Amino acid sequence: MKIIIINGPNLNLLGKREPEIYGGKTFESYFGDLQSKFKDLELEYYQSNIEGELIDKIQEVGFTYDGIILNAAAYTHTSVGLGDAVKAVNTPVVEVHISNTYKREAFRHKSYISSCSKGVILGFGLKSYELAIWSFL
């Protein structure tokens, strides 16, 4: 089984950025933990701060992979294009957020991705990614 995690803007700063919200661990370190835990899966990771690159990656993998875990970060709340990319592909997508976006600013309560995703997992810290992986098994 082949699953990719696609992370959007500023998630490359995990471990440094707002640790009271996002924790103190880098995503690279956490990704290594996931690979160790799910040895029978082919896990990949991609991150970009650029909306078009995220759309390109979804289109690239969206017809051949078994699952996409997408944390579009701030683009979740602004990008019709990312929502359209998720709608356009066959691979199921699980939307993930580290924080509970409904406990944050009102603009974070809107998602252009949720309605076209297999499911949404949010608010469980980095563990949200592991829960998303389990949803494909």
SS3 call for 58: helix
Beta strands in the chain (DSSP E): 2-7, 42-47, 67-71, 93-97, 119-122
CA distance 61 to 97: 21
Residues identified as active-site: 22, 97
Reading the block at residue 98, the tokens are 């580290």
CA distance 11 to 25: 11
